[in-house]
């Protein structure tokens, strides 16, 4: 698998229901995040339309809403002065609260859209300022308001105007205050415009301090009982312990519905938005402990949380945890608030999540079919960037475009079948049964060098920077400089064909049909260690600079220390030849001719998962790749399967050949983050030799 490997979700692809055997436990977080994505996508179009409507009709709307509110207040005043006093203050406070903390009504928003509640509440606040300023404009005064001006004795209206005036002045002062931490955070205002008491003494004082003094709905359907005020004065005259004793007795004498009412009144008052009261650095540190899906939900809490949850450094760390190396800059169609910046790292995270979802359950669109090599076997496959290189026993290599599916050029020059290859950038190296290696320019198709020296088939090779190490059936290894074409070193010591080789620029590790694994110093051409223990041919190797992992026809896998040559673990469980392996960090995935795939921890020697069950392969595993989320496997049964790396559960089939089971084979697979390339064919003519290219990319425009 390429270094930038896989992952799989796109809003452009329809979701499929879970398939039988799919791992629901491992995908629960992804499903939850997809709900967030879909919801905000629906809100995006509506909010953009609302923004355009506001631009055109914003002034008229503000005037009409102000006039309607004035008329409503006048009617309330004429009906009942006392009720108007209570409700008017409460209404003003509710409007203020809505502007301060506008929240989405329909649940979660999608993570990556331009429109959000932060931007919308900003616009509503600007409209409110226009309305309040309009109170002093002669052009906006109506007969109704003139009549109301002559009866300014209504305490409710006085209360509202003083509140609006105070709020306006406080806001303008804050807008120019250099000590305000962020444009998104708004301090608490007194609902009356008057200073708060320095130390709250009653529960009512506490509610007033946190700005909820006018919000609680009181029971107004019945008249207060006789003696209520005397009862309250008696309660206030008692000492603290006496009040507690009285409350205990009162609670014991209440019915459950009455206790529930008390809870509904009391509990909200003790909920604190501690994030908004912390310095920005500490608030971001707290949010950094959230999982990305929880961070996206936190962004819907209020405007200030939205700003914090868009922090670019915060999302950069989340991306690094997921192995995402590059931010994604999206050209936004419309910037409603220039001071609000969307995080490119957050966009990159969302894109990767959508790609992951595409791999897991996106619609499988018809693959690109790349036909070539006639009916010959594709023996080796390379995939880098948008270029695919296939080698065949028809003596040729073909260079393909992964985007268009066209064959860009055919590399002709070998006089025997091509059985090994490597690629980096524009350089391709191939090894053949004609006993040579060739270095090609992938852009022009020119053969730059032909490397002579081996006396039998070049069966394996490994490229590192400017050097390539080749292993041959002549039992030797050779180190070549691909720029000059010179053979730098010859490593001799095996007594049978060299089947696999690894090179990290410092050490060469080789496995052969003589049952041995050897560790070499290529500069001195000396064998540092001969790793003995296998009892049959060694077919596969992995090397990370510290550990050597070898797979053999004796059914075992051995883990060795490259410095000491000691065998650390012997991994048993497979029943046949281990034909392919991949190692990343301490996780090893092995494919076997017994039709199973196993996931190991090489530090402990423990088998973490066996990929089997009713959906397992029905024949030998031919190739595999894995990343942090998935394992992709191919088989002689004509299928390519996707598995969950953590749980080992089967997710779905990515490829199923119609000739599978009757001769159709998937020989090789190579995958990038967004594409999967499969080399398929048959040995009996039931399946045409070709490459299949599946695309799981998403459009983030």
Is 357 in the same domain as 383?
no
Q: What is the pLDDT of residue 210?
A: 60
CATH number (domain holding residue 294): 1.20.1280.50
What does the pLDDT look like over 366-389, one tens digit per residue?
Answer: 999 999 898 899 999 999 989 999
Please name the residues in contact with 437: beta carbons below 8 A apart, sequence gap of 6 or more.
429, 430, 431, 450, 451, 454, 458, 461, 468, 470, 480
Please state, in angstroms and rounded to a whole number, the distance separating the CA atoms of residues 691 and 376: 12
pLDDT above 50: residue 453: yes
pLDDT above 50: residue 85: no
H/E stretch holding 40? helix 24-79
Q: Could you say which DSSP state residue 7 is in?
A: -
> In sequence order, what are the beta bridge partners of 356?
none
Window from 280-294, 337-351, 482-496 with minimum mean pLDDT: 337-351
- Residue of 470 and 182 predicted with greater confidence: 470
pLDDT above 50: residue 154: no
H/E stretch holding 43? helix 24-79
pLDDT band, very low/low/confident/very high, at 211 (cuts 50, 70, 90) = low
For residue 567, being part of any structural domain is answered with yes
On whether the CB atoms of residues 614 and 658 are closer than 8 A, the answer is no
pLDDT band, very low/low/confident/very high, at 620 (cuts 50, 70, 90) = very high
pLDDT band, very low/low/confident/very high, at 302 (cuts 50, 70, 90) = confident
Q: What is the pLDDT of residue 29?
A: 62
Q: Count each helix (H run) and each strand (E run) in the chain, helices first.
A: 15, 32
Window from 76-85, 473-482, 499-508 with minimum mean pLDDT: 76-85
Q: What is the pLDDT of residue 178?
A: 36
For residue 655, being part of any structural domain is answered with yes
For residue 222, being part of any structural domain is answered with no
pLDDT above 90: residue 175: no
Q: How far is CA 263 from CA 258, 267, 474, 653, in A?
A: 9, 6, 84, 53
Q: How many CB atoms lie within 10 A of CB 183?
A: 15
pLDDT above 80: residue 141: no
- The dihedral of CA 11, 15, 18, 22: what is its sign? negative
Q: How many CB atoms lie within 10 A of CB 148?
A: 18
Q: How many CB atoms lie within 10 A of CB 251?
A: 11
Q: How many CB atoms lie within 10 A of CB 352?
A: 22
Please name the residues in contact with 16: beta carbons below 8 A apart, sequence gap of 6 or more.
361, 362, 363
CATH number (domain holding residue 654): 2.130.10.10
On whether the CB atoms of residues 498 and 475 are closer than 8 A, the answer is yes
On whether the CB atoms of residues 616 and 596 are closer than 8 A, the answer is yes
Q: What is the pLDDT of residue 239?
A: 93
On whether the CB atoms of residues 358 and 10 are closer than 8 A, the answer is yes
3-state SS class at 445: coil
Is 490 in the same domain as 573?
yes
Please state, in angstroms and rounded to a whole number, the distance separating the CA atoms of residues 315 and 655: 35
Q: Could you say which DSSP state residue 660 is in?
A: B
pLDDT above 70: residue 37: no
Average pLDDT value over all residues in the chain: 79
Is 290 in the same domain as 398?
no
On whether the CB atoms of residues 585 and 600 are closer than 8 A, the answer is no
Dmax (CA) of the chain: 113
For residue 8, being part of any structural domain is answered with no
Is 620 in the same domain as 471?
yes
On whether the CB atoms of residues 379 and 346 are closer than 8 A, the answer is no
Q: What is the pLDDT of residue 46?
A: 57
Window from 214-218, 302-306, 422-426, 579-583 with minimum mean pLDDT: 214-218
Q: How far is CA 439 from CA 224, 422, 453, 484, in A?
A: 97, 10, 14, 10
What does the pLDDT look like over 327-348, one tens digit per residue?
Answer: 998 876 665 565 667 899 999 9
Please state, in angstroms and rounded to a whole number, the distance separating the CA atoms of residues 101 and 108: 15
Is 375 in the same domain as 312?
no
Q: What is the pLDDT of residue 49?
A: 58
Three-class SS of 312-365: HHHHHHHHHHCCCCCCCCCCCCCCCCCCCCCCHHHHHHHHHHHHHHHHHHCCCC
CA triple 211-216-217, angle to 5 deg = 155
On whether the CB atoms of residues 372 and 354 are closer than 8 A, the answer is no
On whether the CB atoms of residues 11 and 38 are closer than 8 A, the answer is yes
Is 408 in the same domain as 533?
yes
Is 499 in the same domain as 580?
yes
C-alpha count within 13 angstroms, C-beta hemisphere, residue 586: 9
Alpha helices in 421-578 (DSSP H): none
- Residue of 102 and 362 predicted with greater confidence: 362
For residue 194, being part of any structural domain is answered with no
pLDDT band, very low/low/confident/very high, at 676 (cuts 50, 70, 90) = very high
pLDDT above 60: residue 152: no
pLDDT above 80: residue 299: yes
Is 529 in the same domain as 436?
yes
Rounding to the nearest 10 degrees, give the CA dihedral for residues 613, 615, 620, 626. -90
Is 453 in the same domain as 545?
yes
| Domain range enclosing 492 | 368-695
For residue 17, being part of any structural domain is answered with no
pLDDT above 70: residue 129: no
pLDDT band, very low/low/confident/very high, at 532 (cuts 50, 70, 90) = very high
For residue 55, being part of any structural domain is answered with no
Q: What is the pLDDT of residue 274?
A: 84
On whether the CB atoms of residues 324 and 292 are closer than 8 A, the answer is no
Token readout for 338 is: 């220039």
Strand order in the sheet with 498-503: 498-503, 508-512, 517-521, 526-531
Please state, in angstroms and rounded to a whole number, the distance separating the CA atoms of residues 400 and 692: 11
Please state, in angstroms and rounded to a whole number, the distance separating the CA atoms of residues 16 and 18: 6
Please state, in angstroms and rounded to a whole number, the distance separating the CA atoms of residues 684 and 636: 13
Is 495 in the same domain as 560?
yes
Over residues 82-110, mean pLDDT: 42
pLDDT above 60: residue 189: no
For residue 593, being part of any structural domain is answered with yes
Percent of the chain with pLDDT over 70: 68
CA triple 429-431-435, angle to 5 deg = 135
Question: 């003519």: which residue's tokens?
Answer: 685
On whether the CB atoms of residues 679 and 378 are closer than 8 A, the answer is yes
Is 287 in the same domain as 386?
no
Rounding to the nearest 10 degrees, give the CA dihedral for residues 118, 124, 125, 130. 160
CA 601 to chain CA centroid, Å, is 25
Is 500 in the same domain as 388?
yes
Over residues 673-699, mean pLDDT: 93
Token readout for 92 is: 């003003």
Over residues 649-654, mean pLDDT: 97
pLDDT above 60: residue 692: yes
Question: 């109170």: which residue's tokens?
Answer: 135
3-state SS class at 273: coil
Domain count, the chain: 2
On whether the CB atoms of residues 24 and 97 are closer than 8 A, the answer is no
Alpha helices in 377-496 (DSSP H): none
CA 10 to chain CA centroid, Å, is 12
Tell me the residue ranges of DSSP E strands in 585-698.
587-592, 597-601, 606-611, 621-626, 630-635, 639-644, 650-656, 664-671, 675-682, 690-695
H/E stretch holding 144? helix 143-149
On whether the CB atoms of residues 574 and 537 are closer than 8 A, the answer is no
**Cα end-to-end span (Å), the chain:** 28
Token readout for 185 is: 């955070």
Question: 């880098």: which residue's tokens?
Answer: 384
On whether the CB atoms of residues 463 and 504 are closer than 8 A, the answer is no
Q: How far is CA 237 from CA 225, 233, 582, in A?
A: 20, 6, 79
Percent of the chain with pLDDT over 90: 57
Q: How does strand 650-656 pair with strand 639-644?
A: antiparallel
Q: What is the pLDDT of residue 341?
A: 77
CA triple 36-38-44, angle to 5 deg = 100
Please state, in angstroms and rounded to a whole number, the distance separating the CA atoms of residues 574 and 596: 8
pLDDT above 50: residue 168: no
């Amino acid at each position: 698998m390429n270094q930038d490997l896989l992952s799989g979700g796109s809003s452009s692809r329809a979701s499929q229901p879970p398939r039988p055997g799919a791992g629901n436990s491992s995908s629960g977080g992804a499903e939850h995040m997809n709900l967030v994505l879909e919801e905000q996508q629906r809100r995006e179009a509506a909010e953009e339309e609302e923004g355009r409507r506001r631009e055109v009709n914003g002034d008229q709307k503000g005037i009409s809403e102000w006039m309607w509110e004035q008329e409503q207040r006048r009617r309330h005043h004429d009906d009942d002065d006392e009720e108007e006093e209570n409700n008017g203050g409460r209404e003003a406070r509710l409007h203020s609260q809505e502007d301060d903390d506008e929240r989405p009504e329909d649940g979660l928003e999608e993570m990556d859209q331009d429109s959000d509640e932060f931007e919308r509440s900003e616009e509503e606040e600007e409209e409110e300022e226009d309305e309040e300023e309009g109170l002093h404009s002669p052009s906006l005064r109506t007969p109704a308001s003139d009549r109301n001006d002559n009866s300014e004795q209504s305490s409710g209206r006085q209360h509202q105007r003083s509140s609006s005036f105070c709020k306006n002045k406080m806001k303008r002062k804050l807008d120019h205050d250099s000590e305000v931490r962020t444009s998104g955070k708004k301090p608490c205002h007194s609902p009356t415009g008057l200073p708060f008491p320095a130390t709250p003494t009653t529960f009512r004082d506490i509610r007033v301090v946190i700005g909820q003094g006018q919000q609680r709905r009181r029971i107004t359907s019945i008249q207060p009982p006789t003696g209520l005020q005397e009862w309250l004065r008696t309660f206030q005259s008692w000492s603290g312990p006496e009040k507690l004793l009285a409350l205990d007795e009162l609670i014991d004498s209440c019915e459950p519905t009455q206790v529930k009412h008390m809870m509904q009144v009391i509990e909200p008052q003790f909920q604190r938005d501690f994030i908004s009261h912390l310095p920005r650095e500490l608030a971001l540190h707290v949010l950094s402990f959230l999982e990305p899906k929880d961070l996206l939900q936190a962004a819907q809490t209020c405007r200030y949380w939205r700003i914090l949850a868009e922090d670019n450094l915060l999302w950069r760390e989340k991306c690094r945890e997921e192995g995402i190396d590059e931010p994604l800059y999206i050209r936004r169609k419309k910037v409603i608030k220039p001071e609000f910046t969307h995080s490119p790292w957050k966009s990159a995270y969302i894109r990767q999540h959508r790609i992951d979802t595409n791999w897991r359950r996106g619609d499988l669109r018809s693959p690109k079919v790349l036909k070539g090599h006639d009916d010959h076997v594709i023996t080796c496959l390379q995939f880098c960037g948008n270029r695919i290189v296939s080698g065949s026993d028809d003596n040729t290599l073909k260079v393909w475009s992964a985007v268009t599916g066209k064959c860009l050029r055919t590399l002709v020059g070998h006089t025997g079948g091509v059985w090994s290859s490597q690629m980096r950038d524009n350089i391709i190296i191939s090894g053949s049964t004609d006993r040579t290696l060739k270095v090609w320019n992938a852009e022009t198709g020119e053969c730059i060098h032909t490397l002579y020296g081996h006396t039998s088939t070049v069966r394996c090779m490994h490229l590192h920077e400017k050097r390539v190490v080749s292993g041959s059936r002549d039992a030797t290894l050779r180190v070549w400089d691909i720029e000059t074409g010179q053979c730098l070193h010859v490593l001799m010591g095996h007594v049978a064909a060299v089947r696999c080789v690894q090179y990290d620029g410092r050490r060469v590790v080789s496995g052969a049909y003589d049952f041995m694994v050897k560790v070499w110093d290529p500069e001195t051409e000396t064998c540092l260690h001969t790793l003995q223990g296998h009892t049959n041919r060694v077919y596969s190797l992995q090397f990370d600079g510290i550990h050597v992992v070898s797979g053999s026809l004796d059914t075992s896998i051995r883990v060795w220390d490259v410095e000491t040559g000691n065998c650390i673990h012997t991994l048993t469980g497979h029943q046949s030849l281990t034909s392919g392996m991949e190692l990343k960090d301490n996780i090893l995935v092995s494919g076997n001719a017994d039709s199973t795939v196993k996931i190991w921890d090489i530090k402990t020697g423990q088998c973490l998962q066996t990929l089997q069950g009713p959906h397992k392969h029905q024949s030998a595993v031919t190739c595999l790749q894995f990343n942090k989320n998935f394992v992709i496997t191919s088989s002689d049964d004509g299928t390519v399967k996707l598995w969950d790396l953590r749980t080992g559960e089967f997710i779905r089939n990515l490829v199923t050949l119609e000739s599978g089971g009757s001769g159709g084979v998937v020989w090789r697979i190579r995958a990038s983050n967004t594409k999967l390339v499969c080399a398929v064919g048959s040995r009996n003519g039931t399946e045409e030799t070709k490459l299949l290219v599946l695309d799981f990319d998403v459009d983030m425009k």
